[in-house]
Amino acid sequence: MRIRLILAALILTCALSAGFTSRTIAADSLETNGAELPSGPELMLVQTDCQICHSLDLVTSQRLSVAVWTAEVAKMVRWGSPLTADQQPAVVAYLAKYLAPSVPRKLNHPAVPAPPITYNKAPAP
């Protein structure tokens, strides 16, 4: 858990430095795209271990088979997600159940302000 907290703090710092505003960070988690993701240990793992590198809308906008979720989660673990080998099967089963091709999708691409033009660094938050 401590490693996760350190990673999360690190990512938040990097993201803010890179011009991801705090408003964007705050809104990260919150996109279901038509799916209901029930709370529980799997949701907590998805929230902590997927959002290190990307917002949750990248997860909730997809409707994948068990085989494809298995491959995607394995790829993310190779890429650095701290999900352990013990945790992966439950997370895959959770995603494959609640984000299956049969689950209706209402893609929500929220309108966001276009960032002002800058050159050598991100616009000031």
Partner 1 sequence: MNQFTRTTFLAAGALSALAASARAAGGPLLDAVNQRPYDWGTPLDELNENLYTANRTFFIRSHMGPPLQIDEGAYRLRVDGLVKTPLALSLTDLKKMPRHEVPVVLQCAGNGRAFYGDAYPTASHPAGAQWKYGGVGNARWAGVRVRDVLAAAGVDPSAKFATNEGLDDPLLATTPKFVRGIELGKIMDDDAIFAYEMNGESLPYYHGFPVRLIVPGWAGDHFVKWFSRMTLTDTLTTAFWTGTGYRYPNVLGEPGVGMPPDQMHPVTAINVKSILTSPVSGRSLSAGKPIVVSGFAWSGDGAIASKVEISFDDGKSWTEARLGVSPGKYSWRQFTLPWTPQRGSATISARATDTNGAVQPIASPWNPSGYLWNGIQRVELEVA
* Cα–Cα distance measured from residue 80 to residue 82, given in angstroms and rounded to the nearest whole number: 6
**Residue 11 CA: distances (Å) to CA of 4, 5, 34, 95, 103:** 10, 10, 28, 24, 31
Per rule CB under 8 A, is residue 109 in the interface with partner 1? yes
Question: Tokens 């945790």 appear where?
Answer: 87
Nearest Cα to Cα of residue 35 among 61, 67, 68: 61
Per rule CB under 8 A, is residue 5 in the interface with partner 1? no
Instruction: Tell me, residue by residue from 51 to 80, as one string, x for binding to partner 1 by CB under 8 A and - for no binding.
Output: -xxxx-xx--xxxxx-xx--xx-----xxx
Options 20, 48, 74, 90; binder of partner 1; rule CB under 8 A: 20
Per rule CB under 8 A, is residue 105 in the interface with partner 1? yes
Considering the complex, what minimum distance in angstroms separates the CB of residue 50 from partner 1? 11
Tokens of 11: 């990512």
Q: Using CB under 8 A, list all residues that contact partner 1.
A: 11, 14-15, 17-20, 23-32, 36-39, 43, 52-55, 57-58, 61-65, 67-68, 71-72, 78-80, 101-102, 105, 107-123
